[in-house]
Amino acid sequence: MTKPAKSAADSNSGEPQYTSSSIQVLEGLEAIRKRPGMYVGGTGLEGLHHLVYECVDNSIDECMAGFATAVTVVLGVDGSCSVSDDGRGMPVDPMQHENPAINGRPAVEVILTEVHAGGKFDSGAYKVSGGLHGVGVKCVNALSEWTEVEVTKDGRLYRIAFERGVVNEPLHVVEERKGSGNGTKISFRPDPDIFPDTHLRYEILQHRLRELAYLNPGVKIRLIDERVDTSGKMREENFFDESGLAGYVKHLNASKATNSPVISIRRDDAASGMRCDLALQYTDAMAENLLAFGNNIPNRDGGTHVTAFRKALTTAINGYGKRMGLFKEKDFVPTGDDLREGLTAVVSVKLPNPTFNNQTKEKLLNPEVEPFVSAAITEQLGAWLEENPADAKGIVNRAKLAAEAREAARKARELIKRKGALDSGGMPHKLADCSSNEVEKTEMFIVEGDSAGGSAKGGRDHVHQAILPLRGKLLNVEKARLDKVLAFEEIRTLIQALQCGIGEDFDASKLRYGRVIIMTDADVDGSHIRTLLLTFFFRQMPELIRTGKVFIAQPPLYQVARGKTVEYVLNDHRMNEVLVELAMRSNATLSLRDDKGEAFATVQGEPLRRLIRDLNRLEELTRISLYRGIEFPRLLQARTTDPEGKGRMPGWQLAWREGDELFHTEAQAATRVKELGLTLVDVGAAGTEVEPAKRATLRVLHENREIERLLEQIAKVGLSSDDWSLVQEEGITGEKLPTKYAWTVDGEKGKPAETMEVPNIPSILQKLHEVGRRGIEVKRFKGLGEMEAVQLWDTTMDPARRTLLRVTWDQASNADALFTVLMGEDVERRRNYIEKHALEVKNLDI
């Protein structure tokens, strides 16, 4: 007799049972929310900005198809982003489909909710596009707290809205727009449940949009940031260039001395639908800067177009040199690396059916691209060399010098190896190595000096963590060839410890550690040493950065002790958060009081936390305005004296801006407006162009637009709009402000509750911080050497508690330009950069 099989409930093993109930079927966009890394590359900054790229790429596809000419990206003060274009507009008519779940639904709804629904599977709607799988914009919808789509089409404005991928506002007509043209606008706010950090970085988007403008000459791209950063800069830029990749190469080389003109190569093939665009130029730099794109998508890992470019370039230049007799018998024939020393190049191909290695499209795989690009370079670069013999000779001679330097570096390496300095069998004496042989689980900390090295050695995990103290400052390798680099002792020590070689001997598979962590002091010297190390890795071992092996440690700035409890705090921003949390444990309640001192309302719990966040932001904006020389208290005081009684400032009192000129008074603004023949617009039109025909751009400062919204949010909590003067000086208001606020907190050690009067709005946070500081001791660290070994372990080295920053290759071209400015020989350019960014410095500790 056969026994019946046990069910999961009958099992006594205690082990999870694998049955049909274990199988999950994720409907709609659930799979994207469950595994976002598979679709957008992760939930870090890369994945966050990928949401914007998906929307922008759709708009650019409309431009490549010839239906759009302009794209606008707006970063909202509420953390949202909107991308709009003047293309055909997403289709809004009902779907005709055999699937009853899709049939009859508006096409725009299907595009936003059904995975693998799109118009780019064949060449009907788009001949060339970056989108392939009908997944991109679905990711945006699925991974956003809310998404709104507005489509202008056939004289009507349509709107549909979603919440975390689910329709919460069906498609409907908002208004008639006869003669207004077509277009699409997608707005979304990244979901904080998915992304730990939802703050979109202006600089990252700026880089990508500028890139797209060069890749698509003639397309107008606009980036507007309605927020404000700590520098208080006006955040709006227009990107437009008709010279294409030649302009991009000039932009990339703006901070370098050039050794050749820009060489442009282009080839179109109507039969295959393929097109390639290339631009290259030689500079006096030591490193190659090569950027590759397939259908406008950056291919960080290259692909068949990069392989073709490198092979054809080597063949064309060496072939020319041999034909012209430029190589003598004793000369070293340049290799591909020699020929690309100092080369800046951009390679872009566009084709109907691109194949990439993954959804984030880091590598182009199409084999037909290689002969296509190779033929274009062989023919056109060969012709250019023949037509420009002086420049061609200069390129060949430079390559010969690079080959000689390579040979000198080889001899230097051999000499050093004979002395044992780079021998794989020996390790530097100052390295405190780890004992594990599992490379991926090990890490090497590069520390500043013997003092920090001593603390790090004492606190480390001896099995998995190695410590390498470096003495003094590293050689600046920005302008040094490899033979000079190898002559520097501390660099030889670093190379010897890593064991992966350098230059043509570099082999990432031989790296002895899974992570290389730079751990320096949080002062000026520490920052300089960190920059020198990053320059070395970027220029001499770029593969370590490409593969994500280099990290920066984040030692804390403060130690907070309360009784036997010790907490370490990373920075000033986090310190304020800790003080608020400590104060909130005392049941802090904010009361709003009338002129007689009677409480008429209280704020506590979650509403109080929201109020504190808003007040923190308002305080930051006040500081930013003062950085810019704006009399912010007077501007806020004007809010209470608005002659129209609307409780908001007239437009002129928000400090109108034209270029770099500010107008602080009505008379100044009125005079300039009259000179321009314009009409001063009300605050409601802030940020918009005035009379575009005259190309005037009088705009209100963006930080004041955010202040307006913050004040409205704070007012909802109940704070009186009559007391917005964030000042204590009697000269501003004419009299001392009456007490209108008070904190009530638990008394210390069983004493009765305590009430503290608060004279004005900025004092609300100051008093709360005072409460948080009660009973705690705060120590500020200045260097790693000040920390005991156990403290350094607890805060900076313990994998379970530390914070590390990974150095990535996301914006290699920006990094190349920045290293050239900071570490190159152009002193004037470096001074201008420092002056421009001086107000952005945080935690400066000299």
Mean pLDDT of 833-837: 50
Q: How far apart are CA 538 and CA 816, in angstroms?
A: 8
Give whichever of 488-492, 510-514, 693-697 has the largest mean pLDDT.
510-514
Kindly report the backbone phi and psi dihedral angles of residue 592, in degrees, each rounded to the nearest multiple of 5, phi listed first: -105, 130
Quick one: pLDDT at residue 419? 54
Using one digit for the tens of pLDDT, what is the confidence trace for 307-357? Answer: 999 999 999 999 999 899 888 877 778 888 889 988 999 999 998 888 887
Q: At which residue do the structure tokens 């309302």 appear?
A: 601
Mean pLDDT of 490-498: 89
Confidence of residue 234 (pLDDT cuts 50, 70, 90): low
Q: How many beta carbons lie within 10 A of that of residue 834, not counting itself? A: 12
| Furthest C-alpha separation in the chain | 103
Q: How far apart are CA 417 and CA 495, in angstroms?
A: 12
Quick one: pLDDT at residue 261? 93
Q: At which residue do the structure tokens 């950069």 appear?
A: 833
The mean-pLDDT minimum among 36-45, 53-62, 284-293 falls in 36-45
The mean-pLDDT minimum among 180-189, 379-388, 421-430 falls in 421-430
The mean-pLDDT minimum among 19-33, 260-274, 431-445, 476-490 falls in 19-33
Residue 189, SS3 per DSSP: strand
Contact 762, 732 (CB under 8 A): no
Using one digit for the tens of pLDDT, what is the confidence trace for 630-639? Answer: 445 454 444 4
Quick one: pLDDT at residue 376? 94
Contact 156, 182 (CB under 8 A): no
According to DSSP, residue 123 is labeled T
Q: What is the DSSP string of 283-327?
A: BS-SS-EEEEEETTEE-TT-BHHHHHHHHHHHHHHHHHHHHTT--
Contact 160, 167 (CB under 8 A): yes
Using one digit for the tens of pLDDT, what is the confidence trace for 114-142? Answer: 876 654 434 444 444 444 444 678 889 99
Element (H, E) at 5: none
Confidence of residue 482 (pLDDT cuts 50, 70, 90): confident
Using one digit for the tens of pLDDT, what is the confidence trace for 678-712? Answer: 444 433 333 333 333 222 233 333 344 445 555 55
**pTM of the predicted model, to two decimals?**
0.65
* Residue closest to 584 by CA, chosen among 807, 425, 746, 459: 746
Q: How many beta carbons lie within 10 A of that of residue 210, not counting itself? A: 19
Quick one: pLDDT at residue 420? 53
Quick one: pLDDT at residue 520? 85
Mean pLDDT of 749-762: 77
Contact 725, 737 (CB under 8 A): yes
Quick one: pLDDT at residue 29? 76
Catalytic residue ranges: 448, 521, 523, 525
**The two structure tokens encoding residue 117:** 């629904």
Contact 248, 214 (CB under 8 A): yes
Between residues 623 and 486, which one has the greater pLDDT? Answer: 486
Do the bridges between strand 443-448 and strand 465-470 make them parallel or antiparallel, or are there none, so unpaired?
parallel
Residue 466, SS3 per DSSP: strand
Quick one: pLDDT at residue 247? 93
Quick one: pLDDT at residue 534? 87
Quick one: pLDDT at residue 117? 61
Using one digit for the tens of pLDDT, what is the confidence trace for 587-621? Answer: 888 887 766 777 767 788 887 887 787 777 767 66
Confidence of residue 381 (pLDDT cuts 50, 70, 90): very high
Quick one: pLDDT at residue 229? 54
Quick one: pLDDT at residue 656? 41
- Say yes or no to pLDDT of 721 above 60: no
User: Mean pLDDT across the chain, nearest whole number?
Assistant: 76
